[in-house]
Amino acid sequence: MKRTIFIALLLLAAALPLSAAGYTKNVAILLYNGVEVLDFAGPAEVFASSAGFGASGRERAFNVFTVSKTKNPIVSQGFIDVTPDYSIADSPKPDILVLPGGGAESVITDPEWMAWLRTSAENAEHVLTVCTGAFIAGKLGMLDGKDVTTWYAAVPGLASEFPNARVQPGRRFIDNGKLITTAGVSAGIDGALHLVARLYGRQIADRTAEYMEYAWAPQSYTATKYALLNPRLDAHGRKLQEATIAARAGDHDGAVAIYRELIDKNGADAEAWLNLGRVEHGAKRYPEAITAFSEAAKGEPQRSVALYNLACAYALSGDRDKAVDAVSRAVAAGFRAKAALQGDPDLASIREDGRFKELIAKM
């Protein structure tokens, strides 16, 4: 398929809500002056990227946001200004709390900060520390009796300050169930991918690492414990995921068979129709793709994205009028990914059409 992964993610973002829902987990990334940039940016990239890959219908896997004591900009490593999404006064309740390292002492010595963190950590499902963020968890009493790790140069200090913790040097990450501690800087990416694999299955973590072009190599004893398919999906969702795996492996006919099976059970299964269209489109079977996208467009949740894909199939099959009409209907239905319209090579044949240009100009 000619679409790039970037454009595919734009389409997914257009189809999914930005707020957390029942399936979605809130991921709060702690920010403070002096925070190490990759300590927070690495896990943030993992959770933000996997949010779409692990989506169930229109519900994203994660709602990722940053939290600081106030909403005033913080300075990371002395040269990057970052404006937090929330303060501790108005932050949503975290399901996953990420504690990055850097100048963590400013957090540890602040009673207001620690009071909010104590409540948030107690109520969170998971706490992920990166680098010297382990010291924050230690001050919250979370390290006692556990195997933990941190940045290599901070190992002696962590062991001295928290003698009841078993500090392990040379470990990329250590999972204690609720608490996951990681080594320094880039190790936060490994810890975050591990948690994604635990919650949503190995396939979602692998797709995220692939998108990030990150050489993720989980330890064998850990990897054997991951489910392949997303355990949070129902039987219908797992069938859709099986079809996605088949399509990504180049087994287009196998993927089509799964989607057809779902459609035979429910002819109004718009999600199956949409994904069937994408597989047929990828195989350059445009008439079949047009039929599938037309059926998918009958479902409200993904109508705009289905119409966008329909426009691409019409454009590649040489029917420019219907392609422009489908784009117009997609925009009317709420499609707002302007960059996809301007950059998708599938729409090259209509890009100079005056009607198309007019639509773009109005977006």
Q: Which stretches of the chain drop beneath a pLDDT of 50?
A: 1-20
CA distance 143 to 163: 9
* Per-residue pLDDT tens digits for 129-176: 999 999 999 999 999 999 999 999 999 999 999 999 999 999 999 999
* All domains of the chain in start order, with CATH: 24-223 (3.40.50.880), 235-362 (1.25.40.10)
Question: 60: closest CA among 112, 22, 100?
Answer: 22
Question: What local confidence, expressed as pLDDT, does residue 12 receive?
Answer: 44
Q: Both tokens of residue 100?
A: 């990055």
DSSP 143: -
In angstroms, the first-to-last Cα distance of the chain is 26
DSSP 288-299: HHHHHHHHHTTS
8 A C-beta contact, residue 123 and residue 131? no
Residue with tokens 């490593």, as numbered in its chain: 77
Question: What local confidence, expressed as pLDDT, does residue 21 receive?
Answer: 52
8 A C-beta contact, residue 64 and residue 213? no
Neighbours of 316 (CB within 10 A): 20
Task: Tell me the sheet residues that pair with 64.
Answer: 27
The two counts, helices (H) then strands (E), for the chain are 17, 11
8 A C-beta contact, residue 313 and residue 343? no
pTM of the model: 0.89
3-state helix, strand, coil in the chain (%, to 5): 55, 10, 35
